[in-house]
Amino acid sequence: MAQITAALVKELREITGAGMMDCKKALVECDGDKDKAIDYLREKGISKAAKKAGRIASEGVVAAAYDAASNTACLVEVNSETDFVAKNDNFKALVKKIAEHIIATKPADIDALNASMLDGKTVADVMTEAVASIGEKLSLRRFVVYTSENKLATYIHMGGKIGVVVELSGGSDELAQDIALQITAQKPQSIDRSGVDPEYLDHERAVLRAQALEEGKPENIVDKMVEGRLNKTYKEICLVEQEFFKSSDHETIQDILGDVKVLRFTRFEMGEGLEKKNEDFAAEVAAQIK
């Protein structure tokens, strides 16, 4: 039997919104497996969580850049150990310079970016020097670059906590910006149903079926109920089926797009999927003084 720690129970509670005792029971039943415990709580109708989500824990910033001449846009995420550094002007200037460098060079991947030349040095060396100067570990985590003849828009939320780049087949600048804001706020997984991960759908069907049976629903109507509930899920995770955040008439994104198509989008949330060192405020201050 795996050890069920208070920290693990607390983490499960934060993810699912279930009570502490329910979370502890779920972890005991699932031998300490957090993901299985999330499904267990959903199947029992205890958790309201719609999907699993990694903890947003690491510090750093997401930045965007755009060049009108080449119609190129990019997002880049650079992580730091503390929020102090993430708010540091030198750190912000470094991230801005790297974003502009990505626009200019359009590297194929992180390895190519690190090997590219910036101010007479490789980007990898620039990052190493920044670590020595700032006194904290920095990580050039990921980037995406779009070059297109179509409409591009970027949006950065809360000073670099979330970044979005989107490409539309046409439409106005205002429409493109609205779509970028929608993606920022509503976090779609795909443009439409065709882009939803089949493994995700299989998993959701299994969970929803177990949930319906737990509720005592007759076997012969369970499958129809599952598909009905999946249709509600599509309205949450598919961009074109989401309700437009500005609409007071329940218009969907497809309604406001009309003949315009969303061709692709990328959404970076700073630190998603990364773990954060458990330091208190006093420890962070002490670390900075050193």
Domain coordinates in residue numbering, the chain: 1-49, 59-191+263-289
Pseudo-torsion of CA 65, 68, 69, 73, nearest 10°? 40
pLDDT one-digit tens code per residue, 44-69: 877 644 343 333 336 999 999 999 99
pLDDT one-digit tens code per residue, 80-101: 988 888 999 999 999 999 999 9
Residue 49's SS3 state is: coil
Architecture of the domain spanning 1-49? Orthogonal Bundle (1.10)
Residue 260's SS3 state is: coil
Cα-based angle 249, 255, 259 (whole degrees, multiple of 5): 160
pLDDT one-digit tens code per residue, 170-193: 999 999 999 999 999 999 999 999
128: its two tokens? 């190493």
**Angle, in degrees to the nearest 10, between helices 198-214 and 219-237:** 130
Q: How far is CA 123 from CA 94, 127, 151, 198, in A?
A: 11, 6, 30, 38
Q: What CATH fold (topology level) applies to the domain 59-191+263-289?
A: Tetrahydropterin Synthase; Chain A (3.30.479)
pTM of the model: 0.76
Look at residue 115 in the predicted model and tell me its pLDDT: 96
| Secondary structure letter of residue 244 according to DSSP | P
Q: Is 218 left (phi over 0), alpha (psi -120 to 50) or beta?
A: beta
